Amino acid sequence: VRTIDINCDLGESFGNWRLGADEEVLPHLTTASVACGFHAGDPVTMARTVERAASLGVAVGAHPGLPDLLGFGRRRMEISAEDAYTYVVYQVGALKAFLEPLGVPLNHVKPHGAFYGTLNESPQLAEAVVKAVIDTMPGQPVLYWPGGVEDKALVQAARAAGVAVYQEYDPDLQYLPSGMHVVERHKAPLAPERAADLVRRFLLEGRIETRDGDTIPLSADSICVHGDGATAAAVVRTIRDVLAECDVRPQRATGAPGTARPPA
Amino acid sequence: VRTIDINCDLGESFGNWRLGADEEVLPHLTTASVACGFHAGDPVTMARTVERAASLGVAVGAHPGLPDLLGFGRRRMEISAEDAYTYVVYQVGALKAFLEPLGVPLNHVKPHGAFYGTLNESPQLAEAVVKAVIDTMPGQPVLYWPGGVEDKALVQAARAAGVAVYQEYDPDLQYLPSGMHVVERHKAPLAPERAADLVRRFLLEGRIETRDGDTIPLSADSICVHGDGATAAAVVRTIRDVLAECDVRPQRATGAPGTARPPA
Amino acid sequence: VRTIDINCDLGESFGNWRLGADEEVLPHLTTASVACGFHAGDPVTMARTVERAASLGVAVGAHPGLPDLLGFGRRRMEISAEDAYTYVVYQVGALKAFLEPLGVPLNHVKPHGAFYGTLNESPQLAEAVVKAVIDTMPGQPVLYWPGGVEDKALVQAARAAGVAVYQEYDPDLQYLPSGMHVVERHKAPLAPERAADLVRRFLLEGRIETRDGDTIPLSADSICVHGDGATAAAVVRTIRDVLAECDVRPQRATGAPGTARPPA
Amino acid sequence: VRTIDINCDLGESFGNWRLGADEEVLPHLTTASVACGFHAGDPVTMARTVERAASLGVAVGAHPGLPDLLGFGRRRMEISAEDAYTYVVYQVGALKAFLEPLGVPLNHVKPHGAFYGTLNESPQLAEAVVKAVIDTMPGQPVLYWPGGVEDKALVQAARAAGVAVYQEYDPDLQYLPSGMHVVERHKAPLAPERAADLVRRFLLEGRIETRDGDTIPLSADSICVHGDGATAAAVVRTIRDVLAECDVRPQRATGAPGTARPPA
């Protein structure tokens, strides 16, 4: 039976500020990417998120971001390769420390927001981040990355270093004709019915819609929903329904990337 | 031969701001307590400090603090037990992630500044921190703690949980007659000759000077120098000389706390 | 006709994190206390909040807090008198800069959260804050302060310096028999019907309920609702209704403190 | 007699971290640009710096930066025009609040570090910052800006809005052949003798050296020294000597920009 991962960015509250419907979303996921305190998240939020995910059997990855709480990590910053390496090591290490007492291994690393854009473009930063993933996930380094950017710096650096890259489809983001998506500081919420249409087409045809209404092929190991979207909980439930309808089983990605992918 | 540990708080720079003569101090230490980003330190500083310590064979501990860069972690904050647990786990985890690729184990955890005072007084916070140390140093949890406070909450909680507590003597701090020392936001620098006198008396007589000029007995496994003192490098060199003069070998504390202590 | 001020703490969002139903609450207020970036708020939020308040004719005060975003300014911190003075000057100055281009004068200063508790107890910090208010509101310094604490440090320091202190009744907080209220990091939401009962009694009898169910006398120039309460908008609307029912006109406090107060 | 302003970026300490030889530099300046807490500086540092400058008769400007303490405001960030406007208003307002009790007017606004680069390129951000200067310095808005970038966005926006732009020569920075200088996160210190040569040539010939050893013409109303340079105090003293030698009087820039400039 065909399988696909369902992933959501969680743990993006900060102190007294709540963000995302984490409690409603979590039970429907196979994997969670948890914020690590730089763009969002804080130690208390991380501990609670990790514990809840573990108790539900949801795999946990680290979602490191740029050090910009005020901009939610969605503003490009001109960081150095040493910054990039150490920011990832620091954040991933902090998250792992909450997982270890629970006996749960770290599933993956997935750079957040504007960090993503930078890592598509700069081979130096991409190599630094790949090294950070290798150093913090010895033996089984795994990156999550948006699909459609096979030729970009991070993907190339990861492949060169033997790091598995599972690719995502983000139905709640706008895609350019090139296959790249757009990082915005605030997102318009996605209607669940629209999510259903997008995910159905992706599963059945291996195609997604771009911002200008065309479709392009995209293959992915995971469907990702952003936890700060106002409709995230409804969207995730809808995606589960569409998976059931299409006879695709939600399951954490394992093995060689691409093996669980829908046919293009 | 009698041994004693020499320990210094290091890695307390932040971004472009330098603090401490880390490079001059490090070669004279047996152990370093490295700031983890909450009261001081940042990912780049941590990576560089850890690498330098490892290359010199200096053992590395974590020096977690309160989340107060502006006050350098030297202002009491009314945190909860959940805050205390998660702040330590987060910071220790982040530091461990820089040690792991070097194959260097974490030596100890030593709470910084105003965190220390709080943990002397609150059994709830003390238990939370002891649990954090156990969870992040499975198998061999070790706390560094000032001497003279045997009856205080943190020491009691650690002993109850079987966590080793190595005690320190801080010649650059002011001691009260009770044996507790005073945490100040800014420290007056210690003259190296004065450091020599204080450490010599400590080694030979097992006694230290209090703020009002009396002496009290104090036993300790480690002599600690604060890296932000203007004379830290000279003080550490002087202490090495006094140790040689007194035929005490500088060596990382191991085994049961107290076994390396000078006779009281 | 008898009048009373209705005040709410607003502008407590931070970056992408929303807090409070500011847009629904604002039209029902006579005065707003706007966060200034230390415990909550950020420049964009401040600019938008001030502009909206000004366009509705709602008077604007500054709501400076302790530098603790993670704890929402609700954790005591051991700050110095120099810290206290400069933190207030900095925050009030920042807020005034958004008011000046609109030609709107600053109405008052109201310390937030754990800052309040500290200022009740420390004469040194209280004097420092009173001086900061005088220095940033030359000619007409005004503090907002909870009622029931006439004998406390801040009120005494303000009176000694000739600074007007308008006192508040906070129906969404718990009161101790002493008349002091309790600062909690998270508040239980207040049911609008309960708010109506509390405010009605306050207006008609000059009495409020304590945490243990007794009533005590309290006089106040303003009724305050906290913007981060989940029911804040409904509570404020209800208070307007109770005022109308009791024939009390909502109006910004002016003149000598106490002149608009309900009879005790 | 010919005059020129001597300006230095000051107040760039943060909490316990000291940066710059402010006390030695201040007496030799005619103008200081004071950090406002976003890239450096904090309320206590601002209060002390402003008070010291006022007592020495040194004019004070605001030196607002990007919200990036970790990068000292020297990393580009993709901020919006609303961010740019409100970040400047907030920081300038905070600084003005320390000046007002001393009866000292704000002399100018000078964007810091990577903010500068951004404002050269983006007309939207440049217009937002010019509006912020007009709104916070009503009647007499003044910007300080590096020389050699007459055609850039900020200068054009300021001129279009009637805001005076005094231009600087920065002998401790590297210049490109285009006349733009390079913003680096860490600067190599400038030798005082080299400073003397550079400033002498600038005063006598109206020319400066570029990174590749050529000279280009540059006119400026102010000579600027960066306070975080290790040799800043010696450099400023040397510049005073060169001014005396060249019969140029150090004096705050007033009147139309360019009137005090050395002949090109």
Interval A114-162: pLDDT, tens = 999 899 999 999 999 999 999 999 999 999 998 877 788 999 999 999 9
Task: State residue C260's pLDDT score.
Answer: 61
Contact: C69, A71; criterion CB under 8 Å: no
Which chains, if any, share at least 3 CB pairs under 8 A with chain D? A, B, C
> Quick check: C90 contacting D, CB < 8 Å?
yes
Task: State residue D1's pLDDT score.
Answer: 83
Q: Which residues make Cβ contacts (< 8 Å) with residue B6, sequence separation at least 6?
A: B28, B29, B30, B31, B222, B223, B225, B236, B239, B240, B243, B250
Q: What is the nearest CA distance from D136 to chain B, expressed in angstroms?
A: 27
Helix (H) or strand (E) holding D52: helix D43-55
| Model confidence band, residue D38 (pLDDT cutoffs 50, 70, 90) | very high
Contact: A136, B97; criterion CB under 8 Å: yes
> Quick check: C230 contacting A, CB < 8 Å?
no
DSSP structural state of residue D163: -
Q: Which residues make Cβ contacts (< 8 Å) with residue B55, sequence separation at least 6?
A: none
> Quick check: A116 contacting B, CB < 8 Å?
no
- Alpha carbon D125 to its chain's center: 19
pLDDT tens digits for C103-122? 999 999 999 999 998 999 99
Q: Which residue of A has its CA nearest to D79?
A: A75
> Quick check: C98 contacting D, CB < 8 Å?
yes
Q: What is the nearest CA distance from B114 to chain C, expressed in angstroms?
A: 9
Task: State residue C12's pLDDT score.
Answer: 96
Taking contacts as CB-CB distances below 8 angstroms, the residues of chain A near B37 are: 90
Which chains, if any, share at least 3 CB pairs under 8 A with chain C? A, B, D
Q: Report how far apart, in Å, the C-alpha atoms of D93 and of each of A260, C96, C104 are.
A: 57, 7, 15
Task: State residue D229's pLDDT score.
Answer: 75
Tokens, residue D123: 């007309």
Of D70, D80, D185, the CB nearest to A67: D70
Contact: A94, B98; criterion CB under 8 Å: no
CA-to-CA distance for D233 and B183, rounded, in angstroms? 33
pLDDT tens digits for B235-255? 999 999 999 999 999 999 998
Q: Report how far apart, in Å, the C-alpha atoms of C244 and of each of A12, B70, C7, C250 are.
A: 42, 47, 16, 9
| Amino acid code (one letter) for A159 | R
Tokens, residue B107: 């030596």
Q: Which residue of B has its CA nearest to C71?
A: B79
> Quick check: B71 contacting C, CB < 8 Å?
yes
Phi, psi (rounded to 5 degrees) for D217: -75, 145
Which chains, if any, share at least 3 CB pairs under 8 A with chain A? B, C, D
Q: What is the nearest CA distance from B223 to chain A, expressed in angstroms?
A: 29
Tokens, residue D126: 């440049």
Q: Which residue of D has its CA nearest to B12?
A: D17
Strand partners, B207: B217
Q: What is the nearest CA distance from D68 to chain A, expressed in angstroms?
A: 8
Q: Which residue of D has its CA nearest to A79?
A: D75
CA-to-CA distance for C74 and C186, rounded, in angstroms? 9
Tokens, residue D250: 């150090």
pLDDT tens digits for B63-74? 999 999 999 999
Task: State residue A138's pLDDT score.
Answer: 95
Report whether pLDDT(A97) > 60.
yes
Tokens, residue C199: 């405010």
Taking contacts as CB-CB distances below 8 angstroms, the residues of chain A near C70 are: 14-15, 42
Contact: D16, B186; criterion CB under 8 Å: yes
Place of tokens 């409603």: A24
Taking contacts as CB-CB distances below 8 angstroms, the residues of chain D near B18 are: 17
- A188-195: which pairs have CB atoms within 8 A and are 24 or more residues apart? A189/A229, A189/A230, A189/A231, A190/A229, A190/A231, A190/A235, A191/A231, A192/A231, A192/A234, A192/A235, A192/A237, A192/A238, A193/A238, A195/A171, A195/A231, A195/A235, A195/A238, A195/A239
* Of D221, D216, D148, D227, the residue nearest D190 (C-alpha): D227
pLDDT tens digits for D206-233? 999 999 989 999 989 999 998 777 789 9
Place of tokens 């490079």: B23
CA-to-CA distance for A61 and D167, rounded, in angstroms? 50
Tokens, residue A197: 């249409």
Burial environment of residue C134 by CB neighbours within 10 A (0 to 12, 13 to 18, 19 or more): middle
Contact: B47, A85; criterion CB under 8 Å: yes
> Quick check: A89 contacting B, CB < 8 Å?
yes
> Quick check: D94 contacting C, CB < 8 Å?
yes
CA contacts within 13 A on the Cβ side of C94: 31
B83 vs A259, more confident: B83
Of D37, D86, D87, the CB nearest to C90: D37
Of A42, A72, A185, the CB nearest to C70: A42
On whether ipTM exceeds 0.90, the answer is: yes
* Of A142, A187, A145, the residue nearest A169 (C-alpha): A145
Task: State residue D261's pLDDT score.
Answer: 58
pLDDT tens digits for B98-113? 999 999 999 999 999 9
pLDDT tens digits for D75-86? 999 999 999 999
Which chains, if any, share at least 3 CB pairs under 8 A with chain B? A, C, D
Contact: D16, B42; criterion CB under 8 Å: no
| Model confidence band, residue D264 (pLDDT cutoffs 50, 70, 90) | very low
Q: Report how far apart, in Å, the C-alpha atoms of D97 and of each of B94, C35, D173 are.
A: 39, 17, 31
Report whether pLDDT(A218) > 80.
yes
CB–CB contacts below 8 A, B to D: 37
Taking contacts as CB-CB distances below 8 angstroms, the residues of chain D near C86 are: 43-44, 46-47, 98
Helix axes D113-121, D123-136, angle to 10 degrees: 120
Q: Which residue of C has its CA nearest to B183?
A: C78
Of A44, A82, A92, the CB nearest to B44: A82
Tokens, residue D144: 């300080």
DSSP H helical ranges for C68-122: 81-99, 114-121
Burial D50-68 (b: 16+ CB within 10 A, else e): bebbbeeebbbbbbbbbbb
* Of A183, A174, A184, the residue nearest A211 (C-alpha): A174
Report whether pLDDT(B259) > 80.
no
| Amino acid code (one letter) for C11 | G
> Quick check: A72 contacting C, CB < 8 Å?
yes
* Of D16, D230, A87, the residue nearest B227 (C-alpha): D16
pLDDT tens digits for B113-137? 999 989 999 999 999 999 999 999 9
| Model confidence band, residue D189 (pLDDT cutoffs 50, 70, 90) | confident
Task: State residue A48's pLDDT score.
Answer: 98
Task: State residue C264's pLDDT score.
Answer: 44
Task: State residue A261's pLDDT score.
Answer: 57
CA-to-CA distance for A68 and D69, rounded, in angstroms? 10
CA-to-CA distance for D246 and D242, rounded, in angstroms? 6
Task: State residue A17's pLDDT score.
Answer: 96
Tokens, residue D60: 């004070």
> Quick check: D117 contacting A, CB < 8 Å?
no
| Model confidence band, residue A264 (pLDDT cutoffs 50, 70, 90) | very low
Q: Which residue of B has its CA nearest to D13?
A: B17
Taking contacts as CB-CB distances below 8 angstroms, the residues of chain A near D79 are: 71, 75
C150 vs A39, more confident: A39
Task: State residue D103's pLDDT score.
Answer: 97
Task: State residue B188's pLDDT score.
Answer: 79
For chain C positions 126-165, those within 8 Å of chain D (CB to CB) are: 135-136, 138
Task: State residue A258's pLDDT score.
Answer: 78
Taking contacts as CB-CB distances below 8 angstroms, the residues of chain B near A141 are: none
Q: What is the nearest CA distance from A45 to chain D, expressed in angstroms?
A: 23
Task: State residue D110's pLDDT score.
Answer: 97
pLDDT tens digits for D89-145? 999 999 999 999 999 999 999 999 999 989 999 999 999 999 999 999 999 999 999
Task: State residue D60's pLDDT score.
Answer: 98
* Of B3, B27, B28, B25, the residue nearest B13 (C-alpha): B25
Task: State residue B264's pLDDT score.
Answer: 44
**Helix, strand and coil percent figures for chain D, each rounded to 5:** 40, 20, 45
Q: Report how far apart, in Å, the C-alpha atoms of D113 and of each of B111, D69, D226 are.
A: 35, 12, 11
Helix (H) or strand (E) holding C208: strand C207-209
**Predicted model pTM:** 0.96
Contact: D94, C98; criterion CB under 8 Å: no
Reduced to 3 states (helix: H, G, I; strand: E, B; else coil), residue C18 is coil
> Quick check: D79 contacting A, CB < 8 Å?
yes
Contact: A16, C185; criterion CB under 8 Å: yes
Q: What residues of chain C score a pLDDT lower than 50?
A: 264
If phi > 0 it is left, if psi is from -120 to 50 it is alpha, else beta; for residue A23 that is alpha
Least confident of C145-159, D3-17, D150-164: C145-159
